[in-house]
Structure 1
Amino acid sequence: MKMMTRLMGAAVIAASALSSAPLQAEGTLVIASSQVPRHLNGAVQSGIATAVPSTQIFASPLRYDENWEPQPYLAESWTVSDDGLSVTLNLVKNATFHDGTPVTSEDVAFSIMTIKENHPFKSMFAPVEAIETPDTHTAVIKLSNPHPALLLALSPALAPILPKHIYGDGQDVKAHPANAAPIGSGPFMLSEFTPGEAIVLKKNPNFFIEGRPMLDEIIIRIINDPSALLIAMENGEADVYPFMAGSQEIKRLSEADHLNVTNEGYAAVGPINWLAFNTKSPKLSDVRVRQAISYAVDRDFITKALHRGVSTPQRSPIIESSPFFDAAAVTAYDVDLEKAKALMAEAGFGDGMELTVDYIPGPAEQQKSIAEYLKSQLAKIGIDVTVRAAPDFPTWAGRVGGHDFELTMDVVFNWGDPVIGVHRTYLTDNIRQGVIWSNTQSYSNARVDEILAQAAIEGDFAKRKALYSEFQALVTQDVPIYYINATPYHTAYKKDLVNAPMGIWGTMHPMDQVHWAK
């Protein structure tokens, strides 16, 4: 066995929400957010809205520092077998859930298997065959094949450890009442959750890491009005605003003397803004229609004009900053209206068609503005587009997860490694009704399935890169998705905040070391 014991790193990350009170008590962090969580259990729900509070409430086996190195968390050490088919987690012995129940290996085993069965990222723990629990503080993960991203998948936003004594009662974990009032073993405990309005987290006085957390309280309050959110940051009513992507808000808050604005903290996120096609729609099942729409959209206009240059073009399912991106493999679909019209005619839609496009409410410049641009741009090739708004995120997610859409704007993360964040969108066996950020496009290509299965177990980087090059070539030819831009996430935070969100997971990381200089 190869020992991989790590010392706890010092890097920590902040979170996301908004307060109405102009004055904050000492030890309180107010986070501004437009993200509306459906619930707070990150074991069965991905996305910013859930991950930010979930990573405070629940602890995970490992956490990662700013150098992409795994660090101890619930697991004080771990070993990986020489054949890569077994990972042993040696748990800390003083961790308890917020109700006082000790955290044991049974909780770890239950949680990982629950995530495997219920999380949108089906490929994340696919090789996990079983988890043995030889004693109270040892969990042995047994794999069917080596998993190059397993340790990364044990991060806070991806592997929250649930209390088996609460979630193991036979109820559907995705609809469990505890999701709205979760009990974890993380640095903060849920005090209040008012859906669509506020999340209040209080310090866990029995947290298993001595001297932490360093804050007394985190308030996450959701503000749907972008102007009100910016005013709160400018007036000092809110302390942190993460996942900020609009060019005007980035510029405006950069001018505030009491704030720092940074694009650091998103290295592992890999956010891609894209236009997704429901490939089961009779109008969109013909690849020529999808290609026609792709040739009609001008991503350079979007990034340079609509986004005022803060966004960079994205041409691939793999974020272009990744070492697995291959520019030579992708079909970029540079704008060509004549070619688009010819493809529409070949597909039998020379007289045009009608389509509806949805978008995520909230980040208007990255979502609504592009949807409205599509209406005018696609009219040039005979497509009459109706822009369909949603009153809130859960409504949009219900439509898309339920496959009740034709076109939709979306933001989807690579999550550090393709096997975690990319595979889920394209695997045939991940077409799952009612699960957002699965294969909601209903895309199916047998060769893509084969390639991704091989890439998920390949340990040699060069061979893995070659597999992902073929994958990118096939997917951009089939175009179940038109890739637009890398989302330009920034974080604004008060200058006297110590240990602000600079790590690889940004604010989707425990905030046990965040504190005020004063």
Structure 2
Amino acid sequence: MRRLVGLLLAVLAAGTLAFPAAAPAQNLVVQVATEPPGLDLTATPASATAAVVFYNVQEALVKVDRHGKIVPWLAERWHTADNKNYTFFLKHGVRFHNGRELKAADVKFAIDRAMNPETKHPYPGYYEAIGDIIVKDDYTITVTLKGTNANFLLNMARQGSVMYPREAVDTLKSEPIGTGPYKVAEWVRGDRIVLVKNPDYHVKGLPKLDRVTYRFIPDPNAALAALKSGDIDAAMFGIGPEHVPDLQKDGRFQVIIGETTNDVIMSMNNSRKPYTDVRVRRAITYGVNKPEVVKGAMFGLGRVLGTNVDPLNPYFVDMSGAMPHDAARAKKLLAEAGYPNGFETVLKVAPQYYYTVRTGEVLADQLQKVGVKVKIEQIEWGQWLSRVWKDADYDLTIIGHAEAWDIANYAKPTYYYRYDSAEFQKLFKDSEVTVDDKARRELYVKMQKKLVEDAPVVWLYIHPRLAVTKKGLQGLWKDLPLPAFDLSEVSWAK
């Protein structure tokens, strides 16, 4: 007996009893440049919110996958015979994070709420074509359109079309509940947001991570230091492009460079003089040397852009050379518009997005050479959203528009560009009801040419997908066909 006890003690001391070892936790710490203004996708267009919530916490009936294709999601399939009546058949057993099953009544509630002007949805135009919503049973719902809408399914896949329980509406801003692979566990303002695995997720085997922590680190150099010290595992949108060559040579990391829908523009307030004059807007465009902007602000990473339509869009036409840099022509147009000696103007940028400051500095130098003296004013992101995006209180501003298929913004005179063209609005309206691909493509070509002609903004470049992670992290999307950081399939290699 004494020998047996001694043997057991020896085994215990060595830790070799044959109990199954717990699998190591799959945790990920991610850097993002900007803290979301809120977490309610039905209240803000901010890509910083989508980066955390969209596809991770909340999902829609259909989804744009990593290849840019619209695929069934919360709806396992859909059917339409006339492109006006769409019947969605919901997946059975999908549960919200509060445990309640998703039903067709929840879908109707979410869409009805998006259509209600009182809710101040950021993109009410996406739902204007909807005439009626009919719940057939708990898992079947039909959406009837007033007329054909070529983008209806895409609009149902956008970040503002996510599903959530009606009982959680009041907490969407800080504690959103959805059906996604992760649940919001914590938000420490100014520092981090923590997501934890949803054990009841409706896709078998997902997610692969147990915990995701978003760290808010706006400064590219600080993000790089955090990556190299091991404080973060990945920088998703914040490493300066100047660091890419060195990181590509560092065996500890992997660099992902891909395409996005994030068109970086310098907007001109079309309702404020002197930008009410198309000659001035064209002069500003001719005064900009776009390849030099990409070189100076992005160290050559980025694709020069000529209109709103990005290269991931099937109707993309390369208009980058339509209005090339021509300082002499810029000065001539300014003189014709009554500004032979140029003028002074203010450019508002948000330093939380490093590229806006860098781009602004390059542009200010270029425009000074044609007589436009630019004063750069840096404002916080919250102020930018309220003063520029909501109130259009600005002369010039720079920001990246990450939303896919957002040419509709140029058809809205109240959007912060304040661009108002009846001709363009007619072209856009026609494109929305044209389902024939060839005919719709022709309309998109005409829209792009009209935008070049009217120059409501200066399209600068596409901000590339630029992510850096520790070696061994797998499953990230290379291209971003819409502003979402889907982490459902991300894991550490074993």
Which category of TM-score, normalised to the shorter sequence, fits these structures? 0.7 to 0.9
What do residues 186-242 of structure 1 show as CA deviations (whole Å, max 9, x unaligned)? 111111112332111112222233333222111001012221211222233212222
Partner of 1:385: 374
Q: C-alpha displacement at 1:497, in angstroms?
A: 1.9
Distance 2:71 2:314 in 1: 23
Structure 2 CA distance for partners of 1:411 and 1:68, relative to 1, 3 Å: closer
Structure 2 CA distance for partners of 1:505 and 1:327, relative to 1, 3 Å: closer
Q: C-alpha displacement at 1:59, in angstroms?
A: 2.3
Q: C-alpha displacement at 1:504, in angstroms?
A: 4.6
Alignment of 1:428 with 2:419, yes or no, is no
Alignment of 1:344 with 2:334, yes or no, is yes
Q: C-alpha displacement at 1:26, in angstroms?
A: 2.2
Partner of 2:15: none
Q: C-alpha displacement at 1:411, in angstroms?
A: 0.6
Alignment of 1:315 with 2:309, yes or no, is no
The answer as to whether partners of 1:356 and 1:385 remain within 8 angstroms in 2 is yes
The answer as to whether partners of 2:224 and 2:239 remain within 8 angstroms in 1 is no
Letter in 2 for 1:378: L
Alignment of 1:253-332 (within 5 A): 253-264=247-258, 266=259, 269-320=260-311, 322-327=313-318, 332=322
Distance 1:507 1:474 in 2: 26
The answer as to whether partners of 1:187 and 1:510 remain within 8 angstroms in 2 is no
Partner of 2:71: 71
Distance 1:50 1:187 in 2: 16
The answer as to whether partners of 2:218 and 2:353 remain within 8 angstroms in 1 is no
Letter in 1 for 2:207: P
The answer as to whether partners of 1:44 and 1:115 remain within 8 angstroms in 2 is no
The answer as to whether partners of 2:94 and 2:179 remain within 8 angstroms in 1 is yes
Distance 1:64 1:111 in 2: 19
Q: C-alpha displacement at 1:158, in angstroms?
A: 4.4
| Structure 2: stretches of 5+ with no match in the other structure | 1-23
Alignment of 1:251 with 2:245, yes or no, is yes
Alignment of 1:368 with 2:368, yes or no, is no
Letter in 1 for 2:310: I
Distance 1:290 1:126 in 2: 31
Distance 1:39 1:362 in 2: 16
What do residues 417-446 of structure 1 show as CA deviations (whole Å, max 9, x unaligned)? x3xx221x21136x1xxxxxxx21111101
Partner of 2:36: 37
Structure 2 CA distance for partners of 1:282 and 1:506, relative to 1, 3 Å: closer
| Structure 1: stretches of 5+ with no match in the other structure | 1-24, 168-175, 432-438
Distance 1:367 1:458 in 2: 36
Partner of 1:395: 383
Q: C-alpha displacement at 1:72, in angstroms?
A: 3.4
The answer as to whether partners of 1:428 and 1:445 remain within 8 angstroms in 2 is no
Alignment of 1:127 with 2:111, yes or no, is no
Partner of 1:114: 113
The answer as to whether partners of 2:58 and 2:178 remain within 8 angstroms in 1 is yes
Higher relative contact order (CA 8 A, sep 6+): 1
The answer as to whether partners of 1:288 and 1:344 remain within 8 angstroms in 2 is yes
Distance 2:30 2:110 in 1: 28
Alignment of 1:179 with 2:170, yes or no, is no
Distance 1:312 1:100 in 2: 45
Distance 1:121 1:178 in 2: 17
Q: C-alpha displacement at 1:388, in angstroms?
A: 0.4
Which moved further from structure 2: 445-454 or 405-414?
405-414
The answer as to whether partners of 1:35 and 1:48 remain within 8 angstroms in 2 is no
Which moved further from structure 2: 125-134 or 278-287?
125-134
What do residues 79-117 of structure 1 show as CA deviations (whole Å, max 9, x unaligned)? 2x2211111111122122222232211221222233345
Distance 2:470 2:423 in 1: 49
The answer as to whether partners of 1:85 and 1:143 remain within 8 angstroms in 2 is yes
- The CA RMSD over aligned residues, in Å, is 2.3
Indicate the structure (1 or 2) with the bigger Cα radius of gyration. Answer: 2
- Of residues 388, 393, 397, the one that matches 1:404 is 393
Alignment of 1:214 with 2:208, yes or no, is yes
Q: C-alpha displacement at 1:251, in angstroms?
A: 2.3
Partner of 2:139: 137
The answer as to whether partners of 1:501 and 1:507 remain within 8 angstroms in 2 is no
Where 2:25 maps in the other structure, the secondary structure is coil
TM-score, normalized by length of structure 1?
0.84
Letter in 2 for 1:399: R
Partner of 1:484: 460
Partner of 1:57: 57
Structure 2 CA distance for partners of 1:92 and 1:36, relative to 1, 3 Å: same
Where 2:221 maps in the other structure, the secondary structure is helix
Structure 2 CA distance for partners of 1:60 and 1:479, relative to 1, 3 Å: same
Q: C-alpha displacement at 1:393, in angstroms?
A: 1.9
Letter in 1 for 2:478: M
Distance 1:139 1:110 in 2: 12
Partner of 2:6: none
Where 2:284 maps in the other structure, the secondary structure is helix
Partner of 1:508: 484
Partner of 2:11: none
Partner of 1:19: none
Alignment of 1:353 with 2:343, yes or no, is yes
Structure 2 CA distance for partners of 1:193 and 1:404, relative to 1, 3 Å: same
- Of residues 179, 198, 210, the one that matches 1:204 is 198
Letter in 1 for 2:410: Y
The answer as to whether partners of 1:493 and 1:500 remain within 8 angstroms in 2 is no
Distance 1:71 1:326 in 2: 25
- Of residues 234, 237, 240, the one that matches 2:234 is 240
Where 1:241 maps in the other structure, the secondary structure is strand
Structure 2 CA distance for partners of 1:62 and 1:325, relative to 1, 3 Å: closer
Structure 2 CA distance for partners of 1:377 and 1:502, relative to 1, 3 Å: closer
Equivalent pairs: percent with the same residue? 26
- Of residues 429, 435, 446, the one that matches 1:453 is 429
The answer as to whether partners of 2:52 and 2:485 remain within 8 angstroms in 1 is no
